[in-house]
Structure 1
Amino acid sequence: MMSAGGARPARSGHSAIMPMPKFLTAHGAAAAVLLSALPVWAQSALPGFELEHLEINPGRGTAVMRNGELLVPGGMSLGLVGQYQQLPLVLLNGERRLEAVRNRASSILAGSYGVLPWLEVGAQVPVVLWQQGDDPGPLGLTPLASQGLGTPEVQARLGLLSRRDEHPVDLSVDLGVGLPIGSAAVLGRDSGLRVRALAAMGTQVGFLKPTLEAGVLLRSRNPLSAPGASGQALEMRLGAGVTTAGQGLRGELAVKAAFAADMDQPAVELLGGGRIPLSEGLELHALAGPGLGRSPGTPIARVLLGVTFRQEPPPRMEVLPEPVPQLRLEEFQTRPEYVPDSRVEPVPTRELLPPEPAPPSPP
């Protein structure tokens, strides 16, 4: 039987303090969560956490996949990405369905700068522009904010291998820190820092450029995973993608997955799309695809649209460690005397010529 404060088991005889209900998943992309067993009047707001799972790549590669390459020293990349998510957070209580976040639109401003041949630094700032869902008042929860700041991140990318140096692959390591200064009311921040370490590798095979990612994310435990959840959780992240090579329209395909102890099952997203150059250094890209899994923040559908501007100086010419010897060009003032080869015997030659014209006859 449902009440204004939440669901109460039929066998429960307590009326002064009612525990919050256990919510189950409605479909693969909904969240299976368990709210804290607190008094209804004390549970005034949904516990804050970072709802966003997908990371935006501020440097070389695609919008969601790194390829192991670094910007050359002095190069810069600046991008603006807008995205829409459908049903990233759905709660169920028996037959009651609460679409806590039904629609969500956000934007991410990301940039990166090449410092050294082996070092690149970057940052990104996400903002939730609009989100909308069901009224959680019947469950004793205050509505979520519709706009707010997400979790800003700063990162450093270290290059280990590069095809520019005739290595077979590009290989880099990203170290990132997410700052807990976003809005908890919009589900845009964790209670502590988010620390990420990720390795990315890419190469080119014919007209295809495959890429791989693997890394870990140390973050606060999701407060919806268990009553009174606290401490840190280690989340493993994997990704694979492929793009087509060329200067014009290029296709992109990426698969991203996340695994953690406080997640009932892996969160997986499949995104496909392409990018096209608009002018020198400016590109337009679009991606879309479904999400699978019970983890909060995994929508049933996601659409991304963005622009990227990249400017890089030409690579510096390498200086040879050894001096180049000075060369001198000399010209013979007189031709050397010709000495016939005694092994060659001269032979007579004949030349066929047309007959000489007859002399004109006298008049």
Structure 2
Amino acid sequence: MLTFIEGVVVPSRPSLALFSAVSSLLLCLGPASARAQDSRLPTFDLQRLQLDPAALGSLMVGTGRTLPQGMLRFAVQGHYENLPFHFQTRWEPGNGAGLVENRFTMDVTAAYGVLPWLQVAAEVPYIVKQGGKPHMDVAPPDGSGLATPWVGLRAALLRQDFGFQVAADMSAALPLGREELLARDKYAVHPRLQLGFLAEDWQVGGEAGVLLREKRDLGPLSGDSKDVIGNELRLAGTVTSRAGESTRGEVSVLVGVPLQGGRVGAELLLAIRKHALSFMDLYVMGGPGVGAGADTPTFRFVGGVSFATSKVD
């Protein structure tokens, strides 16, 4: 009931009690809603590694070369990562638990030489399984599904039979991966310049580029303001043998330098490629991650098979 006192409406005691109860309930629900909102896992693409679909340099780093006109290379590979998403303030290999402790992905890549100097490429990953442990009441991503596909274009700027190679490469992510699996950015593009030197028995190569994507602040989740996912300067280098008739080895390094806060991450990957048939290669690649970046795995391993319409290396 309402009581009128000198022209002012005053709630009676039952109404006042109800009003007080509703106010208290709203005050309790407010922080709970905020906590529920804060406990959601931020969405971004956890995968740091982009394979080179042409694989003329290493399996990971380009050397400024493009596939010959009319040549097609198609590959299927299995990809395992250990602790690809965990928080640490300094590099301690294999230490601690993570929101994603193990991830297994199947990956399909393809590249085609459109012109003698122009190549198109694509990469489509599918997360088969991943698992981890909760962190601060946040549940780890679980399940399987499509990860972020990439499409790319590479143009040779300097081509020599032997000697220096230069190419410009641009790749972009398609917004098709599943967010709840940490497999999708709102947007992501990766322009880079590739340099290489090709000799008869060996080659070296390097890449310099910038990965541009939406910034994600993981500080509220980790408790450390340095845990940020965002734009990165990407640097990579490789040394590849070309001397073997059927087998060759390669060493590659990938470094990510954050441009919007965050921590430096790097990986050292060793690979062996076997020319099983004139049109088929078998290969394995693996190595450790170095640095305290939240999305730097402590170890990754890739094994696969590729098919090509002709042999280049």
Q: Under a length normalisation based on structure 2, what TM-score does the superposition of the two structures give?
A: 0.80
Correspondent of 1:261 among 241, 248, 259: 259
Tell me by how many angstroms 1:110 deviates: 0.6
What is the aligned-residue identity percentage? Answer: 30
Correspondent of 2:273 among 268, 272, 275: 275
Correspondent of 2:62 among 66, 81, 84: 66
Secondary structure of 2:86 counterpart? strand
Tell me by how many angstroms 1:42 deviates: 2.4
Tell me by how many angstroms 1:45 deviates: 2.6
- 8 Å contact kept, 1:290–1:301: yes
Tell me by how many angstroms 1:206 deviates: 5.9
1:300 equivalenced with 2:295 (yes/no): no
1:43 aligned residue: 38
Correspondent of 2:215 among 218, 221, 234: 221
Which aligned pairs between 1:1-363 and structure 2 lie closer than 5 A?
A: 39-59=34-54, 60-91=56-87, 98-136=97-135, 139-164=136-161, 168-190=163-185, 192-205=186-199, 207-224=201-218, 233-246=230-243, 247-312=245-310
**Cα distance between partner residues in 2 of 1:154 and 1:268:** 24
Aligned length: 274
Coordinate RMSD, CA, aligned: 2.8
Secondary structure of 2:37 counterpart? coil
**Cα distance between partner residues in 1 of 2:193 and 2:110:** 19
Tell me by how many angstroms 1:70 deviates: 0.9
- Per the alignment, do residues 142 and 134 of structure 1 end up closer, same or farther by CA in structure 2, a change over 3 Å counting? closer
1:333 aligned residue: none
Deviations 1:244-271 (A, max 9, x none): 1132211110000011134532110000
- Per the alignment, do residues 263 and 154 of structure 1 end up closer, same or farther by CA in structure 2, a change over 3 Å counting? same
- Which is strand-richer, 1 or 2? 2
- 8 Å contact kept, 2:88–2:294: no
Secondary structure of 2:180 counterpart? helix
1:30 aligned residue: none
1:317 aligned residue: none
**Cα distance between partner residues in 2 of 1:258 and 1:290:** 14
- 8 Å contact kept, 2:81–2:299: yes
**Cα distance between partner residues in 2 of 1:221 and 1:106:** 24
Tell me by how many angstroms 1:208 deviates: 2.3
- 8 Å contact kept, 2:57–2:203: no
- 8 Å contact kept, 1:92–1:98: no
1:3 aligned residue: none
Secondary structure of 2:35 counterpart? coil
Moved more, 60-69 or 279-288: 60-69
**Cα distance between partner residues in 2 of 1:252 and 1:278:** 17
**Cα distance between partner residues in 1 of 2:132 and 2:200:** 47
Deviations 1:102-121 (A, max 9, x none): 11111210101111111111
Tell me by how many angstroms 1:225 deviates: 5.1
**Cα distance between partner residues in 2 of 1:277 and 1:100:** 38
Tell me, which stretches of 5 or more residues in structure 1 are unaligned? 1-13, 20-37, 315-363
Q: Give the letter for the 1:111 counterpart.
A: A
**Cα distance between partner residues in 1 of 2:102 and 2:118:** 38
Q: Give the letter for the 1:213 counterpart.
A: E
Larger radius of gyration: 1
- 8 Å contact kept, 2:129–2:144: yes
Tell me, which stretches of 5 or more residues in structure 2 are unaligned? 1-26, 90-95
Q: Under a length normalisation based on structure 1, what TM-score does the superposition of the two structures give?
A: 0.69
Tell me by how many angstroms 1:141 deviates: 2.4
Deviations 1:51-90 (A, max 9, x none): 0111110012221111211111111111112111111112
Secondary structure of 1:64 counterpart? coil
Secondary structure of 1:39 counterpart? helix
**Cα distance between partner residues in 2 of 1:272 and 1:233:** 27
**Cα distance between partner residues in 2 of 1:267 and 1:18:** 36
